[in-house]
Amino acid sequence: MARLYLAAAFTEAERMRRYRDELRKTGHHVTSRWIDSHESICKSEIRTNRTSAQGFAVDDIADIISADAMILFTDVPSTTGGYHVEFGAALMIGKIIIIVGQRTNIFQAYEGVEQFDTWAKFIECVRSVHASSAQRNPEVPGFLN
């Protein structure tokens, strides 16, 4: 199954861990180490401790590169801009990108970027593909088939 990078607001790590657990049940692997590790660094430390911040950035880029696809959550705005950078990186290296939530800028309308209004709609699609994996559905993002 697919290797997925979850990109979301820094404050959403706990929710992303729950989503990771749901995705694991359908055989997918989540590459996003930030959901377990970044809580140890606060915003002020990002500004004052370049070494720590840089290490997290290197890990995040490596996790994006190792993923087959990115799932970007736009329902909670980013206060640091991090998920916008992650989205741009994924777009530039040709990753499959799924947005959960509304598009928030023109780049998210780029050809091939898929969009689901809610996590419930996305995970329903994932589960339906998982349940009937023998059939290819042309309306489902390629990495799920």
Residue pLDDT, tens place only, 60-95:
999 999 999 999 999 999 888 899 999 999 999 999
Instruction: Quickly tell me which residue has 């339906």 as its tokens.
Output: 128
Q: Which CATH class is domain 3-144?
A: alpha beta
What residue type is assigned to position 97 of the chain?
A: I
Contacts of 24 (CB under 8 A, 6+ apart): 30
**Phi and psi angles of residue 40, each rounded to the nearest 5 degrees, phi first:** -75, -10
- Is the pTM value of this prediction over 0.85? yes
Least trusted range by pLDDT, from 3-7, 24-28, 56-60, 139-143: 139-143
What's the CA gap between 92 and 35, in Å, rounded?
A: 23
| DSSP-assigned states of every residue in 36-60 | HHGGGS-HHHHHH-HHHHHHHHHHH
Query: Using N-to-C axis directions, what is the helix angle for 119-131 and 13-25, rounded to 10°?
Result: 20
* 3 state SS of 131: helix
Query: Would you list the domain boundaries of the chain?
Result: 3-144
Contacts of 94 (CB under 8 A, 6+ apart): none
Q: Give residue 65's pLDDT.
A: 98
Cβ distance 70 to 45 under 8 Å?
no
